[in-house]
Amino acid sequence: MPEGPSMVILKEAVQEFKGKKVVEVEGNTKVIDKDLLLNKAIVDFKTWGKHFLICFKGFTVRVHFLLFGTYQINEHKDTPARLHLGFRDGELNIYAASIRIIEGDIDEAYDWTADVMNESWNPLAAKKKMLARPDMVCCDALLNQDIFAGVGNIIKNEVLFRIGIHPLSTVGAIPKTKLAAMIREAKIYSFEFLEWKKAFVLKQHWLVHQQRNCPNGHGPLTIMHLGKTKRKSYFCEQCQKRYGTLENEASLIWKPPAGVRKPNRIATRKPVPKKFR
DNA sequence: AGTAGTGTTCGGCC
DNA sequence: TGGCCGAACACTAC
């Protein structure tokens, strides 16, 4: 769900509700005054990076799906929705997402030039932002939503492999052609991601992300949690060149704690049989 | 069947 | 004041 292209898919999928009046508001979100939305018409749907935006006159509902969020259109699960919008003919259900209201003009709230999927995406602005932080490592730069809104861990790993740059290379030290390639590929890969995801063939195009071996035959990939973000990087030491030196290198390499892991779910729930969904 | 992950925010602590 | 860290969130493909 979470990366930018998935938000574009969602936006396209809900076009039938554009201009339609919300006639029912439910859900366990705590931050929405349900009466605020009731009987209001949806002016537009927008996306900014990983944000899905439901625009009303004078305010916008911001939806962020984080890692686990899901949605359903004209169908629903039996679990309570975080936000349910009912229309005269149809419904939109959002689960496990972060919801917020943004007051006022949405153009005031967002820098559209930072969104790799937006027509206002500005590569030069991205270049400026990166060169303002020359010591930032490339894996952090790509995940920085102020610079590359919409880019997530998959796109990060694939872009760095495509351009042959080691994730711990610093932004200021890589050749300018590589900097340009990084910015260019962030957008190109995002749109390829979009098409592959629509065709349900995204995973089979991954060259390094969640892979074991270098696609160019260099043997096992290196897999480490890197950068301030500590997100998993998959990369090939031979294909991806490292530039620049780091004073604080140790702090940018993280190992997950060994030993007993905590359960990642609080309660188990029996899956609902498909025929009841 | 148990686990890791397409992510961000928040409070607490130095 | 601010950076760093862990917890929380809560779904599902593999």
Q: How far is the CA of A68 from the C1' of C10 (A)?
A: 7
The arithmetic mean of pLDDT across residues A253-271, rounded, is 53
pLDDT at A259: 52
* Res A270 pLDDT > 50: no
Residues 6+ apart with CB under 8 A from A97: A63, A64, A65, A66, A69, A71, A82, A83
Kindly indicate the confidence band of residue A258, based on its pLDDT and cuts at 50, 70 and 90. Answer: low
* Res A260 pLDDT > 50: no
Of A13, A136, A117, the residue nearest A74 (C-alpha): A13
Question: Of all protein residues, which has its CA closest to the C1' atom of B2?
Answer: A263
Cα separations in angstroms, A64 against A48, A195, A202, A223, A272:
10, 21, 21, 28, 25
Query: DSSP of A153-180, one letter per residue?
Result: HHHHHHHHHHHTB-TT-BTTTS-HHHHH
Task: Give me the helix-helix angle, A176-198 and A123-131, nearest 10°.
Answer: 130
Q: A59-64 and A51-56: which strand pairing?
A: antiparallel
The arithmetic mean of pLDDT across residues A68-93, rounded, is 90
Of A48, A54, A65, A49, the residue nearest A14 (C-alpha): A54
Distance CA A158, CA A206 (A): 7
Question: Of all protein residues, which has its CA closest to the C1' atom of B7?
Answer: A66
**Positions in chain B where some atom is under 7 Å from a protein CB:** 3-9
Paired strand residues for A18:
none
The answer to whether A1 CB is within 7 Å of strand B is: yes
* Res A152 pLDDT > 90: yes
Interface residues, strand C, Cβ cutoff 7 Å: A 66-68, 70, 79, 82, 95-96, 203, 228, 251, 257, 264-266
| pTM for the predicted model, two decimal places | 0.91
Residues of chain A with pLDDT > 70: what percent?
Answer: 92
Kindly indicate the confidence band of residue A273, based on its pLDDT and cuts at 50, 70 and 90. Answer: very low
Query: pLDDT tens digits for A98-146?
Result: 898 998 999 988 999 999 999 999 999 999 999 999 999 999 999 999 9
A69, A96 contact by CB (below 8 A) = yes
Question: Of all protein residues, which has its CA closest to the C1' atom of C4?
Answer: A228
**Positions in chain C where some atom is under 7 Å from a protein CB:** 4-6, 9-12, 14
Question: Of all protein residues, which has its CA closest to the C1' atom of C9?
Answer: A96
Q: How far is the CA of A66 from the C1' of B10 (A)?
A: 15
pLDDT at A200: 87
A149, A49 contact by CB (below 8 A) = yes
DSSP label of A272: P
Distance CA A163, CA A176 (A): 12
